[in-house]
């Protein structure tokens, strides 16, 4: 008895009446109770007795019997188990406090044969009261009772709600365990005593629904001591704002400049989307005339059109912007003006560059008076190489000046060709220098293809003490870092002091000294380079070429080095 009393809830041991003292003997039992086969059943029982407790002397004794018309087959006796039926020994025990009028019985390992009527008798050796007039009918079932799961109805994403799943049983010592198929949510389980020996185990869940839960099957499962399970589920209905908006092209996604195209915005939501908003460009400006429908028609598209965005809205709210959608607008190649041919100082070598863009990316060809050279070519006399990045292609042609005269460059894709005659400059020509500076200002791409990884101007201060005062002088170290395919090396541009010629004075006005820490511009750099380029000890032809040596591959991997004097360019 001590074993089970430790597990019975304190409320379970309370007597149904304030006092067991009464005018006569009596017992109270539920008329019937149901038990799960293989589990236990706790049959609530209480009794009253006449007179004062002291008038009955020693402790109360109790016996439980099967109800038969003849005989008194015992299933429990508080004095001795020898008179108890063998099939009940060890399976029955009174867990109530007799001195408080509580004669509650537990029957373990319920069998199908246990289904019958029972009654209790207090002090069976001395009391002749007809206790058998009050009986309890035990019913044994093979399956647990159906679970109860509250239906929360229509939920709204983000609004916390409560869910409850409960199971009825008659074995409070070993109640069922209730679990949910929602991951990441913590449930709270309680035990509640109902009437006539019935208990309810309830699992409560505080739950914040997500749009991903819409249409999900929510299920709770009760596992009983017999390892039998009972399940109950519902399909969740969750309201949520539009999700996963995406802009798609209706029809052929490949366009030409001047074409018309229809864009469609799609998303999923509950309830359905009511309206749409359209935006375009890097700043997401509203698309004029787009309306509030899921589709919009664009006319006369260009290579610069877009990107395009949409956002959907329903009764719950507005969704998030779609990812940007870029139109694939094809166009005829355009040869950029940065292309040119440069004759070395010795007049022997010519190096030509040609830059073109188009969609699809065009192919390049070099045209000589009596010969056409493909974009990638290598012979003992001529070398050509190219590299593409996005919609742009850049090519280099290198060879003897006697052959590379009147060079033209053509770029071709399926929308047609474009051809331009390349201008020719002599190395050291100021026009060429300023054109190169303009190319540098246009972006890192041409820098890389010209072999210059980075210009770095280092300014140092020298301290001189003169009559207790310090004066600072700045000295510029002008170098060009050239990548020749075998690593980076430095080519000096430092020469003699500039002459007083008018042309150089005109250039020098861009080369005023900078204060420490001030940024160096491309004009500054080019002017400084111009002052000393004429006096460089190395010939132009000795500066390694990028051409077929594979230096085009450095384009995608190039990273600027650290330092405050780096030269940056914004395209």
pLDDT tens-digit series, residues 93-130? 999 999 999 999 999 999 999 999 999 999 988 888 88
Task: Give the C-alpha separation, 447 to 432, whole Å.
Answer: 14
Lowest mean pLDDT, pick from 286-290, 498-502, 504-508 = 504-508
Say if residues 220 and 152 touch (Cβ distance below 8 Å).
Answer: no
Residue 22: what pLDDT?
Answer: 62
User: What are the structure tokens assigned to 423, written together?
Assistant: 């201008």
Say if residues 150 and 163 touch (Cβ distance below 8 Å).
Answer: yes
Residue 21: what pLDDT?
Answer: 61
Residue 501 has pLDDT above 80, yes or no: no
pLDDT band of residue 143 (cuts 50, 70, 90) is very high
Task: Give the C-alpha separation, 459 to 464, whole Å.
Answer: 16
Query: CA quadruple 163, 169, 173, 176: dihedral positive or negative?
Result: negative
Residue with tokens 């003169």: 466
Say if residues 428 and 344 touch (Cβ distance below 8 Å).
Answer: no
Residue ranges of domains in the chain, CATH in brackets: 2-141 (2.60.40.10), 148-235 (2.60.40.10), 239-326 (2.60.40.10), 331-427 (2.60.40.10), 434-555 (no CATH)
- Which helix (H) or strand (E) is 441 found in, with range? helix 430-441
What separation, in Å, do the N-terminal and C-terminal C-alpha atoms of the chain show? 90
Which whole number is the average pLDDT over 137-149? 95
pLDDT band of residue 410 (cuts 50, 70, 90) is very high
Task: Give the C-alpha separation, 114 to 143, whole Å.
Answer: 16
Say if residues 419 and 508 touch (Cβ distance below 8 Å).
Answer: no
SS3 327: coil
- Which helix (H) or strand (E) is 105 found in, with range? strand 105-107
pLDDT band of residue 192 (cuts 50, 70, 90) is very high
Which whole number is the average pLDDT over 41-56? 88
Say if residues 65 and 116 touch (Cβ distance below 8 Å).
Answer: no
Residue 128: what pLDDT?
Answer: 84
**Span 263-317, pLDDT tens digits:** 999 999 999 999 999 999 999 999 998 999 999 999 999 999 989 999 999 999 9
Residue 486 has pLDDT above 50, yes or no: no
Residue 364: what pLDDT?
Answer: 96
Look up the pTM and report it: 0.62
């Amino acid at each position: 008895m001590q074993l089970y009393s430790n597990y019975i809830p304190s409320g379970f041991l309370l007597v149904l009446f304030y006092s067991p003292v009464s005018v006569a003997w009596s017992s109270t039992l539920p008329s019937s109770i149901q038990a799960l086969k293989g589990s236990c059943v706790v049959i609530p029982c209480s009794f009253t007795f006449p007179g004062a407790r002291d008038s009955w002397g020693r402790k109360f004794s109790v016996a439980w019997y099967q109800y038969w018309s003849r005989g008194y087959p015992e299933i429990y006796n508080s004095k001795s188990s020898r008179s108890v039926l063998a099939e009940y020994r060890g399976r029955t025990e009174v867990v109530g406090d007799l001195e408080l009028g509580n004669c509650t019985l537990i029957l373990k390992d319920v069998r199908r044969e246990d289904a019958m009527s029972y009654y209790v008798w207090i002090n069976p050796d001395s009391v002749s009261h007809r206790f058998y007039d009050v009986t309890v009918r035990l019913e044994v079932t093979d399956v647990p009772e159906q679970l109860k799961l509250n239906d929360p109805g229509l939920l709204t994403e983000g609004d916390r709600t409560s869910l409850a799943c409960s199971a009825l049983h008659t074995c409070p010592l070993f109640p069922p365990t209730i679990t949910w198929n929602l991951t990441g949510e913590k449930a709270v389980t309680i035990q509640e005593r109902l009437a006539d020996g019935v208990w309810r185990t309830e699992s409560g869940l505080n739950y914040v629904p997500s749009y991903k839960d819409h249409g999900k099957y929510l299920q709770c499962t009760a596992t009983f001591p017999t390892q039998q399970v009972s399940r109950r589920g519902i399909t969740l209905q969750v309201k949520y704002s539009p999700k996963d908006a995406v802009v798609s092209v209706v029809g052929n996604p490949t366009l030409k400049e001047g074409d018309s195209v229809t864009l469609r915005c799609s998303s999923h939501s509950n309830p359905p989307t009511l309206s749409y908003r359209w935006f375009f460009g890097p700043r997401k400006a509203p698309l004029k005339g787009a309306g509030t429908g899921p589709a919009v028609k664009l006319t006369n598209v260009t290579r610069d059109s877009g990107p395009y965005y949409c956002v959907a809205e329903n009764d719950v709210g507005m969704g998030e912007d779609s990812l940007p959608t870029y139109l694939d607008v094809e166009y005829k190649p355009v040869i950029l003006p940065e292309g040119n041919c440069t004759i070395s100082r010795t007049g022997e070598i010519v190096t030509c560059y040609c830059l073109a863009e188009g969609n699809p990316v065009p192919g390049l060809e070099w045209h000589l008076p009596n010969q056409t050279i493909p974009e990638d070519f290598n012979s003992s006399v001529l070398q050509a190489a190219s590299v593409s990045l996005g919609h742009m292609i850049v090519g280099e042609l290198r060879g003897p000046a006697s052959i590379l005269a009147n060079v033209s460059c053509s770029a071709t894709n399926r929308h047609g060709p474009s051809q331009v005659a390349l201008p020719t400059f002599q190395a050291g020509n100021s026009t060429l220098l300023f054109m190169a500076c303009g190319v540098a200002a246009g972006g890192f791409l041409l820098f890389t293809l010209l072999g210059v990884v980075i210009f770095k101007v280092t300014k140092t201060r020298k301290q001189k003490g003169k009559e207790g005062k310090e004066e600072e002088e700045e000295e510029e170290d002008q170098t060009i870092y050239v990548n020749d395919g075998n690593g980076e090396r430095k080519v000096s541009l430092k020469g003699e002091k500039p002459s007083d010629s008018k042309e150089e004075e005109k250039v020098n006005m861009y080369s005023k000294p900078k204060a420490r820490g001030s940024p160096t511009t491309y004009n500054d750099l080019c002017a400084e380079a111009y002052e000393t380029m004429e006096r460089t000890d190395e010939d132009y032809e000795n500066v390694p070429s990028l051409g077929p040596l594979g230096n085009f591959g450095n384009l995608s991997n190039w990273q600027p080095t650290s330092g405050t004097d780096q030269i940056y360019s914004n395209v």
